[in-house]
Homo-oligomer: A and B are copies of this chain.
Amino acid sequence: MKAEILAVGTEILLGNIVNTNAHYISNRLAELGIEVYHQSVVGDNAERLKEAYELAFSRADLVITTGGLGPTKDDLTKEVAFDYFGKEAVLHEESLKSIENFFNTINISMDKSNIKQAYFPKDAIIMNNSVGTAPGCIIQEKDKILAVLPGPPREMKAMFEECLIPYLKKFQQGVLESKTLRIIGIGESKVASMIEDIIDNSVNPTVAPYAKEGEVTLRITAKAKDPEEANELISPVEKEIRDRLGEAVYGEGEVSIEEVVGKLLVENKFTIAIAESCTGGLLSGTLINYPGISEVFKEGFITYTNEAKIKRLKVKKEVLEKYGAVSSQTAAEMAEGAAKASGTDIALSTTGIAGPGGGSDEKPVGLVFVGLYIKGEVKTKEFNLIGDRQRIRNATVIRTLEWLRREILKCLGK
């Protein structure tokens, strides 16, 4: 099966937004073994949109569109598609109800313009939008398939995974199974060079590294007649990679570092407090993404000023004066102070220079110290990070959580 991805939206052609949807869909289709020869973008214009459909179906069996499903008159993707296939759209009561429900939940009265989003041809397969208003649809006409997805990436991804993937799997010959290993603390090029021979020689399974904000993922993908056979192909390659990368592999699959750490804390009933300076709440905010965390997370202190560090965490004035707020000594006192103030088993602390101002030759922007109090012991770690304020703060969060993971494992004798 040959597919083509058609993004609809003048905002992409104006350079207002990046077409990340095409990237996501291409990646997923490759995993399913569906070839993509073209990606295109067309504006919110009926004539050019119709031409785009004609062109796409002249080259591909499956056309996947994103965008143009909104309630405004600019949003034409569905309307032009129905016209292209010569199909009349009628009100789909169930979709209208779910759109109304969506607005009820958020206590906003539905605007009548939204009714347009519930119109579909009678024989279309409706794809439910679990995180927004616009439903999508699949139209199958002879040997051509059109799948219409919404534009906002969150909505597109949810619908793609929940509705379109199950539909497309029917056309698949054999199975493609993937396993993703997640790595923090080694950069993408370093990871690639550590397993260069594995990547280069990988045919089935294939091994591909991807860089994400603050981490690297390695995807091992095998094609086989059934999942068992695929897993047998993946297993030895996974073992070899884990042997080489060691502890840097913090998890597998769709997991985040906060989930891994959160689970470790909850399972071992380790209570935790967090004291933050440069991360200003992001470290706690990220750990609290993990829903079960309330059992062990006691409290957080955002001690941005020296005054707050002294008052809340009992950091000694002399330490702040002698070593400065951004120092391993201050990080250590913050962590210990947070644990003592909250009576927790574990406490983390962060203090650093996130920029853009505040740096010096001795303490440049990107210098961050983090502290850890764990079962009576205090440790610190220094990071030298690059990038803008947000990137430095995010990297601090990710790396600190990863450090905590390793220290908990050490403490458990693992």
| A305 to B, closest residue via Cβ | B298
Task: Decide yes or no: A11 and B189 within 8 Å by CB, A38-B42, A42-B37, A279-B285 being known contacts.
Answer: no
Is the CB–CB distance between B26 and A12 below 8 Å?
yes
Q: Which residues of B contact A19 (CB under 8 A)?
A: 18-19, 22-23, 39
- Cβ of B387 and Cβ of A189 under 8 Å apart? no
Which of A268-324 touch B at CB < 8 Å? 274, 276, 279-289, 291, 294, 297-305, 307-308, 312
Is A355 a contact partner of B41 (Cβ separation < 8 A)?
no
User: Which of the segments A82-90, A118-126, A204-212, A234-242 contacts the partner chain?
Assistant: A204-212
List the number of copies, as a whole number.
2
Interface size class of A (residues with CB under 8 A): 35 or more
Interface positions, chain A 131-158, Cβ under 8 Å from B, are 131, 133, 152, 154
CA distance A289 to B391 in the complex (A): 10
Q: Say whether A389 contacts B25, CB under 8 Å.
A: no
Q: How far is the CA of A301 from the CA of B281 in the complex (A)?
A: 9
Q: Is A362 an interface residue (CB 8 A)?
A: no
Interface centre among A25, A43, A221 (most CB of B within 10 A): A43
Cβ proximity bits A43-72 to B, threshold 8 Å, 1 near / 0 not = 101001000000100000000000000111
Contact A48 B37 (CB under 8 A): yes
In this complex, what residue of B is CB-closest to A394?
Answer: B285
Interface SS of chain A: helix, strand, loop or mixed? mixed
Q: How far is the CA of A14 from the CA of B40 in the complex (A)?
A: 14
Q: Which residues of B contact A182 (CB under 8 A)?
A: none
> Which chain B residues border A345 with CB–CB below 8 Å?
none
- A336 to chain B minimum Cβ distance, whole angstroms, is 18
Whether B41 contacts A39 by the Cβ 8 Å rule is: yes
A40 B37 Cβ-Cβ under 8 A? no
Assess whether A189 is in contact with B23, with CB atoms less than 8 Å apart.
no
Q: Are B384 and A188 in contact (CB under 8 A)?
A: no
26 pairs across A/B with beta carbons < 8 Å? Answer: A11-B208, A11-B210, A12-B39, A13-B36, A14-B26, A14-B221, A15-B25, A16-B27, A19-B39, A38-B40, A70-B211, A71-B188, A72-B209, A105-B384, A106-B386, A111-B189, A114-B189, A154-B391, A276-B281, A280-B285, A281-B288, A289-B389, A289-B390, A297-B305, A299-B312, A301-B301
